[in-house]
Amino acid sequence: MELGPPNNSFEQTKILKKYYKPDYSQLFNKIKEIKAPIKKEILIGLIDGVWHSELDLIRIAKKQQRYMGAVTLGTMIHSLNNSLKNDYVEKKVVNGKLFYKISDNYVGLTRAAYNKYNFKMD
C-alpha cells in the first residue's frame, strides 16, 4: 500500500473540462476581427454584461447608421450569433419588450477583445 499524495488527476480533468474552453481563442479572434462599425458599437453597448432594451441598442446603433430599426437590429444580433457562437447574445422578452445581453460566458472575453489588446474602434 502506497502512502503518497492522493491521485488528483481525475479532479484536474474535471476542472479543465469545466473552465478551459479551447474554442475561446478562436472566438476571441473572431470578436477582434469584426469590421462593421455598427456591430462594434452594439457590442460595446453590451460589454457591461447586463440586459439592455432593444430601444437602447437602436439608439446606440443610430450613431453609426441613421436608418436603424428593430428589424435591422434583430438581423445584426442574429448575424453576431451565427458568426460567433449561437448563444453569444442572449435575448428575452419582458412585458412585451425585447432585451439583449452578452452571455455571461463571453463577457470577459469580449472585454478583453476590446480593451486589453487595445482594439481600435476607428
Residue with cell 476581427: 33
Strand partners, 52: 100
Where does 36-116 sit in CATH, by number? 1.10.10.10
pTM for this prediction:
0.71
* Secondary structure class of 120 (helix, strand, coil): coil
pLDDT at residue 118 greater than cutoff 80? no
52 contacts 46 by C-beta, under 8 angstroms = yes
Q: What is the pLDDT of residues 101-116, one digit of tens each?
A: 999 888 888 888 777 5
Domain spans, the chain: 36-116
* Secondary structure class of 49 (helix, strand, coil): coil
